[in-house]
Amino acid sequence: MTPETTLPLFSLLDVEKAFPIEGGRREIKALDGIRLNLLPGQSLALVGESGSGKSTLVRVMLGLEAPTNGRVLVGSAELGSMDTAQRRGFARDVAYIYQDARGSLNPRMDVAALLAEPIRLHALRAEREIDGRVDELLAQVGLPRALRHKFATELSGGQVRRVAVARALACEPRVIVADESVAGLDVSVQAQLLNLLRDLQRTSGIAMVFVTHDLGVAAYLCEEVAVMYLGRIVEMGPTAQILQAPRHPYTRALMKAFPRFDSPLAVSLQGEIPSPANLPSGCRFRTRCDEARADCALTDPVQSLLDGRRHVACLHPLAVAA
Written as one string, the DSSP assignment of 22-65 is GGGTEEEEEEEEEEEEE-TT-EEEEE--TTSSHHHHHHHHTTSS
Distances in Å between the alpha carbon of 264 and those of 16, 176, 254, 256, 270?
A: 39, 36, 15, 10, 17
- Report the range of poorest mean pLDDT among 64-73, 179-188, 283-292: 179-188
What CATH number was assigned to the domain covering residues 3-312?
3.40.50.300
Distance CA 231, CA 225 (A): 15
For the cut 90, the answer to whether the pLDDT of residue 194 exceeds it is: no
42 contacts 293 by C-beta, under 8 angstroms? no
For the cut 60, the answer to whether the pLDDT of residue 302 exceeds it is: yes
Distances in Å between the alpha carbon of 202 and those of 7, 41, 87, 206?
A: 19, 8, 27, 7
For the cut 80, the answer to whether the pLDDT of residue 189 exceeds it is: no
How high is the pLDDT of residue 261?
52
DSSP category for residue 258: S
How high is the pLDDT of residue 258?
65
Q: Report the 10 Å Cβ neighbour count for 27.
A: 15
Q: How confident is the model at residue 263 (pLDDT cuts 50, 70, 90)?
A: low
If we measure between CA atoms, which residue out of 241, 207, 177 comes closest to residue 42? 207
Burial 245-254 (b: 16+ CB within 10 A, else e): ebbbbbbbbb
Distance CA 131, CA 128 (A): 7
Strands 77-78 and 69-74: antiparallel
248 contacts 312 by C-beta, under 8 angstroms? yes
Q: Is 29 left (phi over 0), alpha (psi -120 to 50) or beta?
A: beta
**Of 218 and 145, the one with more pLDDT:** 145
58 contacts 208 by C-beta, under 8 angstroms? no
How high is the pLDDT of residue 188?
73
For the cut 70, the answer to whether the pLDDT of residue 229 exceeds it is: yes
**Of 255 and 115, the one with more pLDDT:** 115
How high is the pLDDT of residue 183?
67
Q: Tens of pLDDT along 100-132? A: 888 889 999 999 999 999 999 999 999 999 999
How high is the pLDDT of residue 3?
42
Q: Tens of pLDDT along 140-152? A: 888 999 999 999 9
β-sheet with 175-179: strand ranges across: 94-97, 175-179, 207-212, 43-47, 224-229, 232-238, 310-312, 304-307
pTM here is 0.88
Q: How confident is the model at residue 184 (pLDDT cuts 50, 70, 90)?
A: low
